[in-house]
């Protein structure tokens, strides 16, 4: 069916009324293990498994505490260095949530995420088939599924400790460590050292599940402190968007299948959420601001693993019915400080801590298991001994296992993979309406803008995993009409508007890319990328490396640059140099329509995160663009004009100024070679150096301000790699070291022009 557009908003009658926010239930769980067993919600075997998982977490984290003082006998002589954010006291939340989910559901976690990681891995392993277990531990010689499971659980503990210790055998090969531990094969999409940093990733994961309708739910663990973070609140707003469920917008209503699990341990670092840095009694109250159903919000006793399981089971069912998102607040407590260097005595009392320790979730579950004859006292002792012994053996094994080889210090920074062949299930694309018409001139010319649009259409036709979102890109077609008509052809699932939330726009792309989509994101202005810089720089750019190459993040951020249009200081910055300073991110900037199309197609097929920069002043620039399929490699410069006396290295709109300057220099008998680098990262130094060795002189120019510009990086590398060939210093030409002005006369003076290049050339020759 055709895409439905929203109905016109009728003017209200402005009659007095009161908007009711509804109720948010708190501490409603009144059941017991006995009743759960009778109702069939849990078996005796699973109840014991739940206890074992809680004991695993407690033993693991008590090991960390002992390691700091040298009191962990299994690792005598081993010096542990690394984070010590333990969650002792919070085990019920990690285990209860994971145990109530499907084994192949997703989670994201936090810097205090050892418990979440251990719990998710244990639950996933118990849910796996024999074949899945064999794939997880391929060297196993186990004959039965029970033996396979035991080996996999032992391997899970080992790899978690090895990652904590920064070892090559760790889940992330020691690249991430405890604060970034992930196990993508178990559905754990990563712990995050940026408070709240994983929340938009989880939201993007849920978006992916909604798109695929695969029945998977994402549980997003984050602390109470995170819910004062801007991108977290942006994510809640995103998750509740009406276009997911409003029949005016979609013929397939389905809310995001995500459960925001607020682990409220009452302290951010030392600041107390209750009554100090928050104006509400419960964090869950904030849900009323994002959906009319309050996101099914509930406050749960986080010290009762049964209450946690009950709440997560119901929340997961809501999500699988398409009625998400859900927000659950788990009221719990961390027995230790923010880290082991935090003595707690400056902001807590011993009386407070003693009262909470009386509610210890492990002790209360042990008693219920004994009372209901799920376990005997003797077997309980053996279970505790088993957990402690396994942890000790795996810790000793990890402590003396191989460290990563220093030679590999930047290995895994980028992936060299791409989608050369689209899997069959993603290659069959059904159109809702005919494709928007893109008109070529008689000579085969397209505008820069239409070349980009044609690239996106072709890639969306080729691979249904290519999905686009951004501000106003749907019916309106984006601020610059680059996406106009795509929603009519591909539908709202593949091209949709977002809130004005750049951080969430970019962060959801990370989670979606991790879980199977290939997002193409529009940033209306590159200036707005600064609002999203954490998600671009700390998340998208870093996860391939931090995961030890166990995940790829294939996404494209299309960012328009507005310098030269009189838009002033907050809409005119040319910031590609800034993002080129972020390892793990590709940065490309085509200048011609032909390059724009060929490079965007290549970027969409690449499995690295890519900042794709577009100049607004080039959007209407015309050039010949082949109609036949073609790709232009990233990291390969193009010589736009040959010469033998001077090399001009540039990119973006300065290409045209450089060509104009070369023409003027030619009239004066100076032969200039113009190189369009096209990609800042990766950078084709081979072509640049070869030209400089031929000419002996070089100017590097761009629209960027001079200070901190990538022109300096290129100049420095020329000096280092071709110094012996230089007849004069490398000169740079760029915008003035100031803020882009609005006034036409001032902006003309602010930006570099062909005559600036000519003047620089005459200094050299």
Q: Which residue has the tokens 């557009």?
A: 5
DSSP state of 526: G
Collapsing DSSP to helix, strand or coil, 606 comes out as strand
Write down the catalytic residue from 59, 91, 368, 502: 502
Which phi and psi (to 5°) does residue 161 adopt? -65, -40
Alpha helices (H) along 327-409: 350-357, 361-371, 377-399
**CA nearest to 192, candidates 504, 502, 546:** 546
Active site residue 114: no
In DSSP terms, which residues pair with 168 in a beta bridge? Answer: none
C-alpha distances (whole Å) from 42 to each of 33, 313, 360, 553, 567 are 8, 11, 21, 37, 62
**Triad 706, 708, 712: Cα angle to 5°:** 75
In DSSP terms, which residues pair with 561 in a beta bridge? Answer: 615
How far, in Å, CA of 750 to CA of 739, rounded?
8
Residue 380 neighbours by CB under 8 Å, 6+ apart: 366, 369, 370
How far, in Å, CA of 53 to CA of 179, rounded?
20
Region of residue 611 (phi > 0: left; psi between -120 and 50: alpha; otherwise: beta)? beta
How far, in Å, CA of 125 to CA of 186, rounded?
8
Residue 368 token pair: 């219920």
Residue 675 token pair: 């190189």
Collapsing DSSP to helix, strand or coil, 338 comes out as coil
Active site residue 442: no
Within 13 A of 330's CA, how many CA atoms are on the CB side? 35
**CA nearest to 262, candidates 180, 199, 187, 341:** 199
List, edge to edge, every strand of the sheet that includes 106-108: 106-108, 218-223, 258-264, 326-331, 298-301
**CA nearest to 256, candidates 271, 276, 277, 241:** 241
Helix axes 91-99, 305-320, angle to 10 degrees: 40
**CA nearest to 299, candidates 116, 93, 605:** 93
Count other C-beta atoms under 10 Å from residue 338's C-beta: 18
DSSP state of 35: H
Write down the catalytic residue from 180, 296, 571, 703: 571
Contact 93, 175 (CB under 8 A): no
Residue 648 token pair: 């001009």
Contact 715, 707 (CB under 8 A): no
Q: Which residues are catalytic?
A: 502, 571
């Amino acid at each position: 069916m055709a895409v439905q557009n929203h109905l016109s908003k009728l003017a209200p009658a402005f009659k007095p009324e009161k908007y009711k926010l509804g109720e948010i239930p708190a501490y409603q769980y009144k059941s017991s293990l006995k009743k759960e067993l009778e109702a069939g919600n849990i078996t005796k075997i699973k109840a014991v498994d739940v206890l074992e998982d809680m004991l695993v977490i407690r033993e693991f984290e008590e090991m960390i505490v002992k390691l700091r003082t040298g009191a962990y006998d299994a690792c005598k002589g081993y010096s542990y260095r690394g984070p010590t954010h333990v969650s002792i006291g919070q085990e019920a939340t990690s285990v209860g949530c994971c145990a109530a989910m499907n084994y192949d559901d997703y989670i994201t976690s936090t810097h205090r995420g050892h418990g979440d990681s251990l719990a998710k891995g244990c639950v996933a392993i118990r849910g796996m088939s024999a074949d899945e277990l064999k794939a997880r531990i391929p060297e196993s010689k186990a004959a039965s599924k029970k033996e396979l499971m035991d080996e996999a659980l032992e391997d899970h503990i080992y790899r978690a400790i090895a990652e904590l210790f920064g070892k090559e055998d760790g889940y992330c090969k020691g690249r991430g460590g405890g604060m970034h531990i992930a196990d993508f094969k178990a559905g754990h999409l990563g712990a995050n050292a940026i408070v709240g940093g994983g929340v938009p990733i989880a939201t993007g994961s849920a978006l992916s599940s909604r798109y695929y309708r695969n029945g998977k739910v994402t549980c997003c663990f984050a602390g109470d402190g995170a819910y004062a973070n801007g991108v977290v609140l942006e994510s809640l707003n995103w998750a509740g968007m009406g276009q997911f469920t409003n029949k005016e917008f979609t013929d397939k209503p389905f809310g995001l299948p995500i459960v925001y699990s607020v682990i409220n341990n009452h302290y951010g670092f030392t600041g107390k959420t209750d009554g100090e840095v928050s104006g509400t009694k419960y964090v869950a109250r904030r849900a009323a601001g994002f959906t009319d159903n309050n996101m099914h919000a509930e406050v749960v006793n986080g010290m009762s693993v049964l209450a946690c399981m009950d709440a997560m089971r119901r929340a997961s069912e809501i999500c699988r019915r398409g009625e998400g998102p859900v927000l659950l607040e788990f009221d719990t407590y961390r027995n230790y400080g923010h880290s082991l260097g935090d003595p707690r005595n400056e902001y807590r009392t011993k009386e407070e801590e003693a009262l909470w320790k009386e509610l210890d979730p492990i002790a209360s579950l042990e008693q219920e298991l004994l009372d209901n004859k799920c376990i005997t006292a003797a077997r309980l002792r053996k279970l505790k001994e088993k957990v402690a012994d396994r942890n000790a053996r795996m810790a000793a094994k990890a402590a003396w296992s191989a460290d990563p080889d220093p030679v590999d210090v930047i290995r895994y920074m980028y992936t060299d993979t791409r989608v050369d062949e689209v899997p069959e299930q993603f290659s069959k694309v059904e159109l809702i309406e005919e494709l928007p018409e893109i008109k070529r001139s008689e000579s085969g010319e397209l505008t820069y803008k239409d070349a980009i649009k044609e690239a996106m259409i072709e890639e969306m036709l080729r691979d249904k995993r290519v999905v686009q979102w951004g501000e106003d890109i749907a019916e309106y077609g984006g601020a610059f009409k680059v996406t106009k008509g795509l929603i009519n052809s591909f539908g709202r699932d593949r091209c949709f508007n977002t809130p004005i939330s750049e951080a969430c726009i970019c962060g959801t792309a990370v989670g979606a890319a991790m879980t199977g989509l290939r997002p193409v994101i529009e940033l209306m202005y590159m200036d707005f990328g600064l609002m999203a810089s954490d998600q671009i720089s700390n998340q998208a750019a870093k996860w391939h490396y931090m995961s030890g190459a166990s995940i790829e993040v294939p996404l494209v951020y299309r960012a328009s640059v507005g310098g030269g249009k009189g838009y002033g200081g907050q809409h005119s910055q040319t910031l590609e140099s800034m993002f080129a300073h972020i390892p793990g991110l590709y940065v490309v900037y085509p200048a011609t329509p032909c390059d724009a199309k060929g490079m965007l197609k290549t970027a969409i097929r690449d499995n690295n995160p890519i900042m794709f920069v577009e100049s607004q002043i080039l959007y209407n620039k015309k050039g010949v663009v082949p109609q036949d399929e073609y790709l232009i490699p990233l990291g390969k410069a193009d010589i736009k004009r040959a010469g033998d006396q001077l090399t001009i290295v540039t990119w973006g709109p300065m290409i045209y100024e450089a060509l104009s300057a070369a023409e003027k220099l030619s009239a004066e008998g100076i032969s200039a070679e113009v190189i369009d680098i096209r990609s800042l990262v990766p950078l084709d130094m081979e072509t640049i150096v070869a030209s400089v060795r031929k000419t002996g002189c070089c100017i590097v120019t761009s629209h960027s301000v001079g200070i901190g510009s990538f022109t300096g990086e290129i100049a420095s590398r020329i000096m280092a790699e071709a110094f012996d060939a230089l007849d004069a210093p490398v000169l740079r030409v760029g915008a003035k070291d100031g803020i882009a002005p609005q006034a036409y006369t001032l902006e003309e003076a602010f930006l570099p022009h062909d005559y600036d290049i000519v003047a620089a050339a005459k200094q050299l020759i």
